Structure 1
Amino acid sequence: MAARDGRPLVRRLAALAVVPPVRLAVARYAVPPGSPDRAGCDRCGAPVGLDRPLPALGPAARCPACRARIGAPPGVVELALVAAGAVLVLAGGPVAVRAAVAWWLAWAVPSALVDVAVHRLPDRLTWPAAAGTWALLGVAALTGGGPVPWLRATAAGLALGAGFAATTLLLGRRGFGLGDAKLALGVGALLGWYGWPVLVTGLLLSFALSALVGLALLAARRVRWSSHLPFGPFLIAATALTLLLAT
């Protein structure tokens, strides 16, 4: 009983430990394409890193020297991680599969926030997300899942990534970016593990969320018809929702 009562505290401590690395990833990679990764405060140049996580990498999100905001707004990362934790708890499933989901979510949260900020999905976030998810699903296959779901996940990840990349080659800026294609590798593998209908559901849901948000922003006159919304956050949110529906 005592161990069970201590689980919520352990989860809270684990969540708090994840906040600084995620905030650091958002602050470091939320820069325009072609720019070097951010190493410190844009205003005063004070370095920011895990050796000095507060207040820059805590909920305050402020430079320790000049108090300028660094990275994601206060509270945004924390709320996103709470949502990710809820998905992980509610999704259930075997330990190895949940490990794959946890790994993917850990990279998906900063990816979504960076894409919202600068319309960019850095390779340093998308590649580890895809590779780790695929590898952990392989462990799940070896520990009871069997080869069929893993082979399907592999094919689904490659197919979805190739499909997104093809739109870039054929449509240029009107298609998905290569960052979306790399993100799709992990998304396809994760959803493909549960079956092709689950993958299709996640993809359709991502388009639906993108369309609804786009129409809402148009109605509020926050964007124009010619505006380009980042697709990564919708693909990530739809994947998380689909995982809940699938399990």
Structure 2
Amino acid sequence: MTRPHAAQPVADENRADDVLPARPTTVRPRRPRPLAVLALTPLLRYAVARHAVPPGIGRRSGCDACGAPIGLDRPWPALGPAARCGGCRSRVGAPPATVELAAAAAVAVLLLARPPAVELVAVAWWLTFAVPLLFIDVAVHRLPDRLTWPAAAGTWLLLGLAALAGAGPAPWLRATVAGLGLALFFAATTLLLGARGFGIGDAKLALGAGALLGWYGWTVPLLGLLLALTLSGLVALGLLVTRRARWSSHLPFGPYLVLGTLGAFLLLW
């Protein structure tokens, strides 16, 4: 006589404990697209066009060739990538597409480095002024106060907010001392060496750069300065070898200070 098989329990599809829990859907916050930053390049081009004038001359307000006004109310085509006057088609400000490429490179550095949010805001503020200053220094060998002072002051205040937000006073005080120290170094070379030293404009630009680098440690500003001096020395050597410059030629240092600061960030972050 065969024993009956035990009845196997049948899972009830309607039982709550047999139903797999649904995976929670995570909503990713939308981040600003990097290409959206390029929409701000007319502002950068406007700053270059306005301030890239020799010392003693007022700010540029129109095309040098035909006098057509240049302003943010009519940004195209003078403040676009073509950088051409709408009236006579003469070039206005920085060479075509160069400001856009510099802005894209700065955004790429920030995307690769991915700094914390507070540091990101401070660096982005400084770069907003450093990018046009780079082109102005190359064009006319000067760094106007209308751009260097807001760059340094805004950077210092944003780092102060970072200290209040939780970083503490120690990195902010270190950033303050580093910015002042780097600026005094540049100013001292001007006082001691005259035209053969760095300019006062470089000292003002170094205020913001030194503060940003000093936020991360005492040796980081030295790293940025070393990178800047190395880059400028290599370029100067290349110009001497190709006879495009002489020993007495004056080369702008602002672009190398900007590049050295970004290079230090890449090595640090």
TM-score calculated relative to the size of structure 2 = 0.88
1:141 is matched with: 163
1:212 is matched with: 234
1:194 is matched with: 216
Matches within 5 A, 1:167-178: 167-178=189-200
Larger Rg: 2
1:99 is matched with: 121
1:12 counterpart = 2:12: no
Measured in 2, the distance between the counterparts of 1:148 and 1:7 equals 31
1:28 counterpart = 2:41: no
Unaligned runs of 5+ in 1: none
TM superposition shift of 1:221: 1.4
Q: Deviations over 1:156-205 (max 9, x none)?
A: 01111111111111111111111001001001101000111111111111
Measured in 2, the distance between the counterparts of 1:86 and 1:67 equals 32
Measured in 2, the distance between the counterparts of 1:188 and 1:216 equals 28
- With 69-78 and 84-93 compared, the bigger mean Cα shift is at 84-93
Q: Which runs of 4+ in 1 moved over 2 A?
A: 1-8, 90-94
Please state whether the residue corresponding to 2:219 is helix, strand or coil.
helix
1:40 is matched with: 62
Matches within 5 A, 1:48-197: 48-197=70-219
Measured in 1, the distance between the counterparts of 2:39 and 2:196 equals 39
Measured in 2, the distance between the counterparts of 1:163 and 1:5 equals 44
1:233 counterpart = 2:255: yes
- How many residue pairs end up in the alignment? 245
Q: Deviations over 1:90-136 (max 9, x none)?
A: 22232111100000111100001100011010101110110011111
TM superposition shift of 1:18: 1.0
Question: Percent same amino acid among aligned pairs?
Answer: 67
TM superposition shift of 1:4: 5.8
Q: Deviations over 1:61-110 (max 9, x none)?
A: 00011100000000100110011101222222321111000001111000
Measured in 2, the distance between the counterparts of 1:243 and 1:140 equals 18
Code of the residue aligned with 1:136 in structure 2: it is: L
- With 26-35 and 167-176 compared, the bigger mean Cα shift is at 167-176
TM superposition shift of 1:41: 0.0
Measured in 2, the distance between the counterparts of 1:23 and 1:54 equals 11
Please state whether the residue corresponding to 2:94 is helix, strand or coil.
coil
TM-score calculated relative to the size of structure 1 = 0.95
Code of the residue aligned with 1:12 in structure 2: it is: L
TM superposition shift of 1:220: 1.5
Measured in 1, the distance between the counterparts of 2:40 and 2:243 equals 36
Cα pair 2:38 2:103 within 8 Å, conserved:
no
Measured in 2, the distance between the counterparts of 1:235 and 1:70 equals 25
Measured in 2, the distance between the counterparts of 1:156 and 1:68 equals 43
Please state whether the residue corresponding to 2:215 is helix, strand or coil.
helix
Residues 90 and 161 of structure 1: is their aligned pair in 2 closer, same or farther, counting only changes over 3 Å? same
Code of the residue aligned with 1:217 in structure 2: it is: L
Unaligned runs of 5+ in 2: 1-24
